[in-house]
Structure 1
Amino acid sequence: MIRTRAVRRPRGVVFALPVLWVLGVVAWELVSPRGEGVHLLAIVAVAATGCAVTGRRRRLLRELERAREVAATAQRVLLRPLPPRLDGITLAGGHLSVSEGALVGGDLYEALATPYGVRIVMGDVRGHGLTAIGTVAAVLGSFREAAHDEPALAGVLRRLDRALQRHLCERARAEAQARPGTEQERGLGEEFVTVLLLEIRPDGLVTAVNCGHPWPYRLSVTACEGPRAAAVGRGDPLPPLGLFPLPPELPVAPLTRLLPGDALVLHTDGAEDARDADGAFFPLAGVLDAVADRAPVVPAAVIEHVQSALLRHTGGRLSDDIALLVLSNDRCLAQGREPRPCLARSGRPRR
């Protein structure tokens, strides 16, 4: 079969010919007597220029629309919908984009039922766009395998780190081949991923390992005094993946224990960094405390409430993507046993 190649005009030709035509008309106007035909020729030239520009703009808009469709499909494949329940854990996830047109972001989350308990990952890749979504794919793909294979969370984290390093090296080599003369290791020091790994065991014990990610909040429906939403986390987290090699010993430790009806709220740093018009930060702890006061905690309702409060606080002008993940222990509730109620702050039983 003989293949023919379509002859493509250089991009500059689309604009050069009408522009030269207009210049010729202007020159003719300067040296020739005024006449209706000349004015008509000028009008036709300007119209031709406008048509060329309009055609180019329409092609760019079509290409942009196709790119958005591809991006949206990739986003749906990577951040697939979470199941409503995993081994007695009810969960829901949500995402707010910094821009209506920015369908591809760097936030990632996943929850899986494994032989070792329900395992969760939440992370935030530096940057946006197709570069970030490639890194998201590498981290999530590694987690979905390692979570079932590795008995300890430390092993899962090391698998994620190796997958990220391979991805960055392959991308740096590809960029060096595409642009000879550039530094092959240029992208390695510029890309990193914050990662929070959790494991919820059947008895409600939660263990965690954190690499540069915000610690989660625990919503307690059994707390009779003080706030019902409290940040949980011990010590400073490790640096984000991609910046430094992991230490020989990883600090995987008990984080908290989820009693029946209690919940965990995971989030990216965009939630607490969101500001209003006066520069005040979003009061995430206070909003979650108000939600926890309405037992029982429903993860989907928590997501909707926090997202609405964020949009009100910022006036819809977000400065960063925001991902939320809520997990509630309803093991006893599923067996028909309600958690023991306590008195609310007003002294009346909570409903």
Structure 2
Amino acid sequence: MVPHALIATVVLVDVLAQSAVLLSLLAAPPALAAATSRPRAVALVGGLAIVVCAGVVVADETLAPGRGMVALGSVAFVALVAAYASVVRVRAVEKQRKTMRELVDVRAVADVAQAAILGPVPRTSGPIELAVSYTSAAVGARIGGDLYEAIPLAGGGVRLIVGDVQGKGLTAVQTAVTVLTAFRVRVLGAGSLQEVAQHIENALRLRELSEKFVTAVLADCTEDGVVTLLNFGHPPPLVRRADGTVVPAEPDVPGPPLGLPRGLSKHFLDGSGTCSVRLGPGDRLLFYTDGTTEARDTDGVFFELPETVRHLDHDDLDHDLATLRGALAAHTRRPLDDDAALLLLRLTG
């Protein structure tokens, strides 16, 4: 509407002034139309501007012939350039939309594949409650290798793993599948976390697709709230006590990731690097991947995860995870650059 209104304004002012005082402004409507309209609409505006300009030149006897021809030529030239610019803009927009649709389709397939690989976790296991959340990275980002699993134990309690494969793409996903498969196969038959970790390590050594390593935390949580942790270079879980105190659960001696060249992680699989925490009623234990801790705002400031965890005290664990995701989104103010997996555990009794 703006280009048409501008043409009407030029005509009205020239009629009232009885002189072509605004004749040169007739070049502006097609230029404005090119910014938002399709080529046909731009051509119509340009044609209307040329006709109006020609009419003013013929009707105004006081207008110098040279000035009238220059104005008419300028309007015609701008109209042609505007129509061409509109064609280029529309093609670029359509190409961008097509690319975005393809990226959305790829992301949708990746999300479905990720959900099929991870699967659900049990909501409860005796007095232990669990909740998980997985936030995908920005549309178009390559699918990550974040992983988690929780298996209830026959004698009560739960055994779980949360990890992150180095890098992204299909190779990272394949490595994540290897880790989860090894964990699921061995989790119920193994007597200790070290045996489960050794089985995962052996499975990773059989692969020749890449040299990707895996950071992971394995944990056993019993019904009485004793949690045994085995950390392989992963960010330490956070214990949120019922009184709001937040402390990291990390071993005195950190261990290397899984899947490193033979010998580098052998000493860690012998039992060193473990730690234990005892949860009381209402205490929470948060496992996470580095997509959360490495998230930055527009100024490059990292997300303060412990401070947010301090306020997680809702009766519904899913509500707590939603609060955490909301705080993360408010901090970054843009889609995440890396996938973020969260697993929250609470002792209820």
TM-score band, normalised by shorter chain = 0.5 to 0.7
Tell me which of 216, 219, 222 is aligned to 1:201: 222
Cα distance, 1:193 vs. partner? Answer: 0.6
Gaps spanning 5+ residues in structure 2: where?
1-86
What amino acid is aligned across from residue 262 of structure 1 in structure 2?
D
Q: Percent identity?
A: 36
Q: Secondary structure at the match of 2:344?
A: strand
Cα distance, 1:262 vs. partner? Answer: 1.0
1:82 match: 121
Does residue 268 (structure 1) correspond to residue 308 (structure 2)? The answer is: no
Cα distance, 1:77 vs. partner? Answer: 1.1
Higher RCO (CA < 8 A, seq sep 6+): 1
Tell me if structure 2 keeps the 8 A contact 1:263–1:297: no
What amino acid is aligned across from residue 311 of structure 2 in structure 1?
A
Alignment partners' CA distance in 2, 1:207 and 1:247: 20
Q: Secondary structure at the match of 1:316?
A: coil
Cα distance, 1:100 vs. partner? Answer: 2.6
Tell me which of 75, 95, 100 is aligned to 2:139: 100
1:96 and 1:73, CA in 2 relative to 1: closer, same or farther beyond 3 A? Answer: closer
- State the Cα deviation string for residues 290-349 of structure 1 (Å, max 9, x = none): 22xx3x55321221111100110011242322111100111x2xxxxxxxxxxxxxxxxx
Which aligned pairs between 1:279-294 and structure 2 lie closer than 5 A? 279-291=300-312, 294=313
Q: Secondary structure at the match of 2:138?
A: coil
2:51 match: none
Q: TM-score under structure 1 normalisation? A: 0.66
Tell me which of 226, 230, 247 is aligned to 2:266: 247
Tell me which of 75, 91, 97 is aligned to 2:130: 91
Query: How many matched pairs?
Result: 253
CA RMSD of aligned residues (A): 2.6
Alignment partners' CA distance in 2, 1:69 and 1:270: 19
Tell me if structure 1 keeps the 8 A contact 2:239–2:249: yes
Q: Secondary structure at the match of 2:110?
A: helix
Higher helix share: 2
Larger Rg: 2
Q: Secondary structure at the match of 1:112?
A: strand
Tell me which of 317, 336, 346 is aligned to 1:299: 317
- State the Cα deviation string for residues 151-209 of structure 1 (Å, max 9, x = none): 10000000111111213x2x2xxxxxxxxxxxxxxx32xx1110100000121110011
Q: TM-score under structure 2 normalisation? A: 0.66
What amino acid is aligned across from residue 258 of structure 1 in structure 2?
L
Tell me which of 162, 179, 186 is aligned to 1:139: 179
2:199 match: 159
Cα distance, 1:237 vs. partner? Answer: 2.1
Gaps spanning 5+ residues in structure 1: where?
1-46, 172-186, 333-351
Tell me which of 236, 243, 255 is aligned to 1:238: 255
Alignment partners' CA distance in 2, 1:64 and 1:320: 16
Does residue 148 (structure 1) correspond to residue 188 (structure 2)? The answer is: yes
- State the Cα deviation string for residues 112-144 of structure 1 (Å, max 9, x = none): 112363101000011222111111111001111
1:38 match: none
1:214 match: 235
Alignment partners' CA distance in 1, 2:287 and 2:251: 15
